[in-house]
Structure 1
């Protein structure tokens, strides 16, 4: 009986791989893609129930990939190997998006930039402040997370941002932070601090191109909204 079960499981895994290779997974359900990821980490057994449980627990496929190792560990059946496989998939996607976003002139590659920032920050549980430092051709010099805060606040220090820009010989910057609430509407403090960074930079020849606030599935551009 045990041998028959194992053969059936191996056959199911092979069928999943075959289906994936037909169109690289485009027609597959989210739980099936996650199931394939888990088969790389869990060599034996039926991982379909675990894949479905994870998607149910974290509400979506993206939610699973974005979950922290500590959060994933709370789900029974998820060990170190499964966590590595899941987070490796997320990191691979982020690197692909990042390379597409920062290929050449950033301002001419806007949607790719937003896609990357959404994937990198849209599901974070606390606020992060990210600064993109650019050269004269608006090519990326550095993409750095400057500060990590709380669920509704992260510190922004204009002097530190400008000093770092000078250290990198950057001539322009883009500030990005996320709102874990999902609503990208700026607070009065967001507006005030943005103006402080703009003023501090302009005195030293550093242009603030934009301040982007990332929500769950949306974003706000200070430039587009006439706030900068």
Structure 2
């Protein structure tokens, strides 16, 4: 057992303590020698949890988080309240629960990742860096458990001004109000926008409601000289562009 547990040495007839710190050091050594990319997801998560949870066997917690949220990205992007529901027994049979501080540490790692993939969007036009945009949207939304409606506000050179969440809903609906979107675009000084929302079901295929709502926003923008470049739907199974599908 990895955590400091008693085992019985027949020859010495005395209990010996296994040092869990030895496991931590061995894992760090493997990471240094073989590279972090060689580690499975649960060990990568273990390494991070070492810093938040000293002197405990964190492997069960790492595996429980991956089981609960489905993937490493799912863990890191999970809402803090959802993370707090995860608890396990450690190697000594003692309860090990997520705390607000641990959940915040994982959330910080996700936010750092999200900002890193957003960097290319700040250096060039969004339309010219479409693959970078898709990478950013997948990191940001693919594992979001509730629908979010976001708008990317662009200037007249199609450079990103802001990415804002304008609606958060349920597992299958997020509100989007054309008048509020246009009001915010005018406040941002944005002449072009890209609509984005996610499908927590995983399938990014647009619904008829998605298409009709998009057309209503396009019409609202036309009267104000604000162009809707696209409406991108993000799911775990991929990304759908209404423009590419001919629905815009």
- Verify same fold: TM over 0.5: yes
- Equivalent in the alignment of 2:110: 90
CA contact (8 A) 2:121 2:159 kept: no
* Higher strand fraction (1 or 2): 2
TM-score, normalising length: structure 1: 0.91
Report how far residue 147 of structure 1 moved: 0.8
- Equivalent in the alignment of 2:70: 59
- Equivalent in the alignment of 2:128: 108
CA contact (8 A) 1:42 1:81 kept: no
In 1, Cα distance between the equivalents of 2:216 and 2:67? 44
- Equivalent in the alignment of 2:93: none
* Higher helix fraction (1 or 2): 1
In 2, Cα distance between the equivalents of 1:111 and 1:23? 30
- Equivalent in the alignment of 1:119: 139
Count of aligned residue pairs for this structure pair: 227
Report how far residue 68 of structure 1 moved: 2.1
TM-score, normalising length: structure 2: 0.84
In 2, Cα distance between the equivalents of 1:81 and 1:168? 35
Structure with higher Rg: it is 2
- Equivalent in the alignment of 1:72: 83
Q: RMSD of the TM alignment (CA)?
A: 2.0
Report how far residue 25 of structure 1 moved: 0.7
**Pair 1:138 & 2:158 matched:** yes
Gapped runs of 5+ residues in structure 1? none
**Change in CA separation of 1:68 and 1:191 when aligned onto 2, cut-off 3 Å:** same
In 2, Cα distance between the equivalents of 1:164 and 1:68? 26
In 2, Cα distance between the equivalents of 1:225 and 1:32? 40
Report how far residue 175 of structure 1 moved: 0.3
